[in-house]
Structure 1
């Protein structure tokens, strides 16, 4: 058996990401690796050269936590010339306000969900770890004993030496001038010292990433920003405590209420600040490492910006009054619009990969994931939040990136609610119904650039007199009791939902059917007018997405997808012979969901088409005209009620809404928002991809195995599923019902059984129809049986709940099939 040749890989950048990736690739047998660096090795002049090395693992993003956890484990086993590459001093985060103490309790829950050892400490316990803290200023702390300090330059060199021993080449003082292409993919990297042939090029250039991307016309949507770091004069309290090889022993200290962190440097203290104004850096004004006399990523310290931070530092650590700032710099770091890395292969330029906006904290984990992705075609860690193709086109503009990335800097240590939207620039994308939504007093949140109503103040009278449980402070934010009234209107009468933000694709051409058969799990070879629920899988059977596919004509399909990653995936796999056209039609169209027991009473008088159950059955589609507006009507429902998704061209959208609204007045029609929608869909057990299930999960354990047709022929992921079909799942996604209706949680909380954490919550809401608080959670299969008693940890309190059978509402599907 012959094996494919090992590809020639050129990595641009010998910082912590480039070195980590070279190590991970060569360890897996890809030894034809060359790392080019415009500066010296290994203090290259990039962000790795000045990084303070903090590795805090706990993050609301499970993916980032997994990255950081691997960094701790890997660097903890590395050394250079007998000196460690990681110091496991632990981390200590302090609360000086009740709001921060609440946040630390929630963070303790996140750590437990993601299996990070942590503990909540009293003020006295915090002072034992850091004796110079002003005890009277703090309310408590969050301690993670296995976190610590990465010695970035040592880790760079240690990993590089391992890679070199396996055959990798590291080239210093090679400035990249261009990246050449041949046959539609990368072919070589041109440097000022000559060209290097390449089958794969990885941009790990850090803050210079956008400059490298422009050589190929590839967007690298990050913003280099300056971040202040200072060192004090010598402190008597640290005399004789540390040495140059173990320069810190106390935990990394974070005073996030003042946007500060602290770490020891032998007998001095380092202080980092996110409290200052955003300081974007123009790459055009920044010398390269080859041109700079010193470190180009270390800018002059601006004392005035640091002065307030120094005062806050002295207030927390009074011993600093006898010290001062001896040296400091403004270090450049990379920020993205959503705070996540930029990973993946360009679709426009095959062979060109990005590993950008990665901090030392996550470096080894990112490198492992990228190496798996490059070699095996997928990562064992779900990467959808990091994939560079996650952005919509409107999110790639320079002004948008600048504004949102600057806000990401401001929010690094802020207390953020899971639903909290960015404030600017808004509104960016609106549906044709937006003027009417404003008139109805819509409360908008934002996702994918879209303004999405969560409830309507016009429905406040409907909420008067409703007996709802008193929920907690966090669960009450970005929520209104009006949502209960809107859910009730949907269940009892009829409601209009703006579904325009749902991304829509048109897939057409003579090869469209064959293409969708190969890409999806369900049977697509059905008569025109059929609608199917289907999955996109990777080769290992992981759920990449779920879709609604309507066959509108023999060679014409409309596909509802979850976002731009699905468009990217389908375009990558589409035939290149012109037999299949994949087109994003979202911007030119709109959609209104009309759902409720009186939906047919509303729609039927407005059209000549037969909208009866016999005329347009469940999961069927047809073209029709409603109130003079051409629509595509799909009889599907994500809320578990009779009704349709009505799709129209955007220019007719407002007329469609107005006609439905006017005709529905005698029926008690209501506009309803996402808050009610989420409650209704959880009562029915409908999954939300990216929240309830990802590529880490297979269809059978996620509860969507009904969308798999193994007998239809081959499709992406079928081989893996065929092996799984007869195996009992090791874990399951199941609903929990809380004992007390006021116990409404947010998502990502740990689930305990017999004092052990066994799983975590994905989605949660109060079920207004059933009068119970619901959470969906991933649990080991033995604990997932209905009737199992569990506890959900919420802000350090354990809330009793029971695993329930699903669906929780209308298991006979009688309401949706009227």
Structure 2
């Protein structure tokens, strides 16, 4: 087939991901679609994938995408005539420990909330469905009858044929060597084939390059952090009378089982994986396998012989080792690169590429077509990736852990252990010396809790109260009754300045930013649907300069949103995150402490809430912002990084006899949820309408036009379809994390979007949306609420106003 010179879009990579994107763009009516595959379709990872179709994922939208894939693969065969091997044989996951049983039962509750067919089953019922299985030590299990398995290569071939049937060109044996751009957006690609070389001019490019994708992206300055790992499975000789069994997962033994064509497959997600391809992937790699490593696989096989005695007798037909790409957080990448316009990505599937690609291809095609995602995809959004994560040493170290985390216990607050310490605040060693136990977000090391002298500085994970619960309680109550310190340097900080800075930000933000210099405004950037793209504060520094403070995890996303909408406005956007530290002093005694380290006047009259001033602190100079995320009187001190340690020492010395308590991020979260402050990515996303999120007070439609204004006015007129409600469990021993089911008058209506323990309020606190079309606030609150946790329902009190300090009197004290 002749390679064309022009295309609307060039898709790079002919695995299941690239084929799905081509198919779904073609279904939307796009013409001029060209898919280029360096060798032959499916020859990288797709051809050797296990083909497991598990519909339940960790969130509603990921489950929505997986269900879409399953439905699509059932239909594809009839549409294209290509056999997909899709069989809905169901799946069983078994627990060998009480902790795993709790996890599986929580997943069953989640499945019910997402309308996925699920049953908790006893060991005896498992044995009836799976006669070959040793269930002597099985303590519980869940069965999803509509899960299944398929033929991965044929799925990709069916998608490719479906794309061709609608006019897309799918060309094998053509390698993309370079993506062309004009400095702002892509303009096409350079290709090579059989000694020939050429260019295709294109408006968009989609990198579906799998394990080749990272290095191709890096050529264009695009961050795509993924790394290949060896992935092992074996297939037995035929086993008499095996039949079509459900897919079986035994996560406590890192194993999955699949019957196929009378043989049994055993696959593994071992705790310490083997990264592969550090020095690049050889040019002729095509349908290749990697060397066998029996020693590495032996512990899995030994456990399998006990779990399924047929493995002791059945001969081994195939021992397979092939590469798959993994990401630093076990979630794939989707969306437009923040670095280069028109450069789209669908890659890094972490061994769930078959079940993910159908839905991911649909969502990405819709996103490319409409200019916005069809629903909240933040979990897999490429904009969550940090530029430093391109580093190959970092990736090699991290993916040795992330492959195993797929089947590890998914404890609440579980911390990654590899590739740590990349981004540290100036106070890291100070806090470490004082007992800090660190967690990591976006590469930042952040103190999560502080150990007492002599206490071990390790997490002891559990589904109930973990070993740091009392530490959090002490920190939390210190903030409520005395004064606490938080190092929040990981906040993203963006300067927007220039002649048009105000007009530009007024167009993007819902609040009115035309305020006096020194004023701080809490606001959101909305999309055209009224959904929340960014949750932030904006401080006006001068007539033409503004400081935007955003969550550390969303910095790249927020920078991309700003730059995308800048147009020809005369303004400069600068990431200044690393220039300043943020030291937070919070609690009723905060004013006393601030007065001891600074000659400034911290009275309400001189320093009201929502204002910022330059202040002397110790012998340094910083800027104090009177705001709070914990619901108390307090200041955030923005200090130059070179003066941070000195200012901290001055605060620590002055606060000694006030009982100044060093506090971690777990306490920040438990305080904010008592105050019902929203958390971006959990309680508020680009799919959640700002009014339904209860943030209408931050939107000023009277200021003039801004993105999302029409959607706000429309919603005010039509009324709310749902409301974000705060819940408190009446059983003080129960715990909430997130994804528990919200039960209204006996019926599951939604999930808990975020949860923590309210040490002041005396119970677990959660936030969650409740459907309320045509209902008043009073009618919403008149219902009886419970939260379902692992199948058990716990009574909950509900409130639309914050349960802690509803009138914000403490904040303004």
**Shorter-chain TM band:** over 0.9
Does 1:680 pair with 2:674?
Answer: no
Aligned to 1:464: none
Give the alignment of 1:485-500 within 5 angstroms.
485-500=474-489
Q: What is the CA–CA distance in structure 2 between the aligned matches of 1:214 and 1:63, rounded to whole Å?
A: 29
Q: What is the CA–CA distance in structure 1 between the aligned matches of 2:205 and 2:278, rounded to whole Å?
A: 22
Aligned to 1:539: 528
Q: What is the CA–CA distance in structure 2 between the aligned matches of 1:178 and 1:569, rounded to whole Å?
A: 23
- Does the aligned pair in 1 maintain the 2:134–2:308 contact within 8 Å? yes
Q: Which moved more, 1:571-580 or 1:396-405?
A: 571-580
Give the alignment of 1:150-299 within 5 angstroms.
150-182=150-182, 184-193=184-193, 194-238=198-242, 241=243, 249-275=244-270, 277-282=272-277, 284=279, 286-288=281-283, 291-292=284-285, 295-296=287-288, 298-299=289-290
Offset at residue 708 of structure 1 (A): 1.0
Secondary structure of the residue that 1:481 maps to in structure 2? helix
Q: Which moved more, 1:345-354 or 1:553-562?
A: 345-354
Offset at residue 483 of structure 1 (A): 1.8
- Does the aligned pair in 2 maintain the 1:602–1:667 contact within 8 Å? yes
Does 1:454 pair with 2:448?
Answer: yes
Offset at residue 551 of structure 1 (A): 0.4
User: Which of the numbers 356, 364, 381 marks the counterpart of 1:362?
Assistant: 356
Offset at residue 109 of structure 1 (A): 2.4
Secondary structure of the residue that 2:18 maps to in structure 1? helix
Secondary structure of the residue that 1:8 maps to in structure 2? strand
Give the alignment of 1:395-544 within 5 angstroms.
395-458=389-452, 473-477=462-466, 479-544=468-533
Does 1:555 pair with 2:544?
Answer: yes
1:160-215: CA deviation from partner (whole Å, max 9, x where unpaired):
22222221111111122222234743222222243322111111121221232244
Q: What is the CA–CA distance in structure 2 between the aligned matches of 1:596 and 1:183, rounded to whole Å?
A: 48
Offset at residue 768 of structure 1 (A): 2.0
Q: What is the CA–CA distance in structure 2 between the aligned matches of 1:578 and 1:800, rounded to whole Å?
A: 53
Aligned to 1:10: 10
Does 1:303 pair with 2:294?
Answer: yes
Q: What is the CA–CA distance in structure 2 between the aligned matches of 1:229 and 1:494, rounded to whole Å?
A: 55
Kindly tell me: are residues 715 and 569 of structure 1, through their superposed partners in 2, closer, same or farther at Cα, counting changes over 3 Å? farther
Aligned to 1:690: 681
Aligned to 2:126: 126
Secondary structure of the residue that 2:578 maps to in structure 1? coil
Tell me the number of residue pairs that the alignment of Structure 1 and Structure 2 aligns: 789
Offset at residue 73 of structure 1 (A): 1.7
Kindly tell me: are residues 772 and 135 of structure 1, through their superposed partners in 2, closer, same or farther at Cα, counting changes over 3 Å? closer
Aligned to 2:93: 93
Secondary structure of the residue that 1:587 maps to in structure 2? helix
Kindly tell me: are residues 198 and 473 of structure 1, through their superposed partners in 2, closer, same or farther at Cα, counting changes over 3 Å? closer
Q: Which moved more, 1:271-280 or 1:332-341?
A: 271-280
- Does the aligned pair in 2 maintain the 1:504–1:559 contact within 8 Å? yes
Secondary structure of the residue that 1:452 maps to in structure 2? strand
Q: What is the CA–CA distance in structure 2 between the aligned matches of 1:137 and 1:454, rounded to whole Å?
A: 36
1:559-583: CA deviation from partner (whole Å, max 9, x where unpaired):
1112223443344235465821222
Q: What is the CA–CA distance in structure 2 between the aligned matches of 1:372 and 1:285, rounded to whole Å?
A: 33
Offset at residue 364 of structure 1 (A): 1.0
Q: Which moved more, 1:345-354 or 1:119-128?
A: 345-354
Aligned to 1:244: none
1:723-754: CA deviation from partner (whole Å, max 9, x where unpaired):
22212221111011212111222111112234
Kindly tell me: are residues 452 and 335 of structure 1, through their superposed partners in 2, closer, same or farther at Cα, counting changes over 3 Å? same
1:129-159: CA deviation from partner (whole Å, max 9, x where unpaired):
1111113132221111111113222222222
- Does the aligned pair in 2 maintain the 1:623–1:630 contact within 8 Å? yes
Kindly tell me: are residues 276 and 607 of structure 1, through their superposed partners in 2, closer, same or farther at Cα, counting changes over 3 Å? closer
Does 1:774 pair with 2:768?
Answer: no
Give the alignment of 1:31-46 within 5 angstroms.
31-40=31-40, 42=41, 44-46=42-44
Offset at residue 473 of structure 1 (A): 4.3
Does 1:381 pair with 2:375?
Answer: yes
- Does the aligned pair in 1 maintain the 2:412–2:463 contact within 8 Å? no
Offset at residue 803 of structure 1 (A): 1.7
Kindly tell me: are residues 816 and 590 of structure 1, through their superposed partners in 2, closer, same or farther at Cα, counting changes over 3 Å? same
User: Which of the numbers 66, 69, 72 marks the counterpart of 1:68?
Assistant: 66
Aligned to 1:794: 789
Q: What is the CA–CA distance in structure 2 between the aligned matches of 1:457 and 1:96, rounded to whole Å?
A: 32
Kindly tell me: are residues 802 and 184 of structure 1, through their superposed partners in 2, closer, same or farther at Cα, counting changes over 3 Å? closer
Kindly tell me: are residues 492 and 279 of structure 1, through their superposed partners in 2, closer, same or farther at Cα, counting changes over 3 Å? closer
Aligned to 1:59: 57
Aligned to 2:112: 112
Offset at residue 588 of structure 1 (A): 2.0
Give the alignment of 1:566-715 within 5 angstroms.
566-573=557-564, 575=566, 579-715=570-706
Offset at residue 787 of structure 1 (A): 4.0
Q: Which moved more, 1:611-620 or 1:667-676?
A: 667-676
Secondary structure of the residue that 1:664 maps to in structure 2? helix
Q: What is the CA–CA distance in structure 1 between the aligned matches of 2:154 and 2:82, rounded to whole Å?
A: 11
Offset at residue 759 of structure 1 (A): 0.7
- Does the aligned pair in 1 maintain the 2:209–2:347 contact within 8 Å? yes
Q: What is the CA–CA distance in structure 2 between the aligned matches of 1:306 and 1:595, rounded to whole Å?
A: 52
| TM-score normalised per structure 1 | 0.92
Kindly tell me: are residues 99 and 32 of structure 1, through their superposed partners in 2, closer, same or farther at Cα, counting changes over 3 Å? same
- Does the aligned pair in 2 maintain the 1:759–1:778 contact within 8 Å? yes
Secondary structure of the residue that 2:682 maps to in structure 1? coil
Q: What is the CA–CA distance in structure 2 between the aligned matches of 1:406 and 1:218, rounded to whole Å?
A: 23
Aligned to 1:466: none
Aligned to 1:141: 141
Q: What is the CA–CA distance in structure 2 between the aligned matches of 1:518 and 1:7, rounded to whole Å?
A: 34
Q: What is the CA–CA distance in structure 2 between the aligned matches of 1:285 and 1:660, rounded to whole Å?
A: 50
Secondary structure of the residue that 1:231 maps to in structure 2? strand
Does 1:744 pair with 2:735?
Answer: yes
Offset at residue 319 of structure 1 (A): 2.2
Secondary structure of the residue that 1:94 maps to in structure 2? strand
Runs of 4+ in 1 over 4 A off after TM superposition: 458-461
Q: What is the CA–CA distance in structure 2 between the aligned matches of 1:62 and 1:141, rounded to whole Å?
A: 22
Q: What is the CA–CA distance in structure 2 between the aligned matches of 1:624 and 1:729, rounded to whole Å?
A: 44
- Does the aligned pair in 1 maintain the 2:84–2:150 contact within 8 Å? no
Kindly tell me: are residues 8 and 666 of structure 1, through their superposed partners in 2, closer, same or farther at Cα, counting changes over 3 Å? same
CA RMSD of aligned residues (A): 2.3
Q: What is the CA–CA distance in structure 1 between the aligned matches of 2:480 and 2:790, rounded to whole Å?
A: 33
Secondary structure of the residue that 1:702 maps to in structure 2? coil
- Does the aligned pair in 2 maintain the 1:787–1:803 contact within 8 Å? no
- Does the aligned pair in 2 maintain the 1:90–1:143 contact within 8 Å? yes
| TM-score normalised per structure 2 | 0.93
Q: What is the CA–CA distance in structure 2 between the aligned matches of 1:695 and 1:69, rounded to whole Å?
A: 22
Offset at residue 7 of structure 1 (A): 6.7
Q: What is the CA–CA distance in structure 1 between the aligned matches of 2:89 and 2:763, rounded to whole Å?
A: 44
Aligned to 2:798: 803
Secondary structure of the residue that 2:639 maps to in structure 1? strand
Kindly tell me: are residues 210 and 451 of structure 1, through their superposed partners in 2, closer, same or farther at Cα, counting changes over 3 Å? closer
1:356-408: CA deviation from partner (whole Å, max 9, x where unpaired):
11311100111111111111111223122222221333333211111112210
Offset at residue 755 of structure 1 (A): 4.1
Offset at residue 10 of structure 1 (A): 0.9
- Does the aligned pair in 2 maintain the 1:335–1:406 contact within 8 Å? no
- Does the aligned pair in 2 maintain the 1:459–1:482 contact within 8 Å? no
- Does the aligned pair in 2 maintain the 1:541–1:698 contact within 8 Å? yes
Q: What is the CA–CA distance in structure 2 between the aligned matches of 1:138 and 1:434, rounded to whole Å?
A: 44
Aligned to 1:465: none
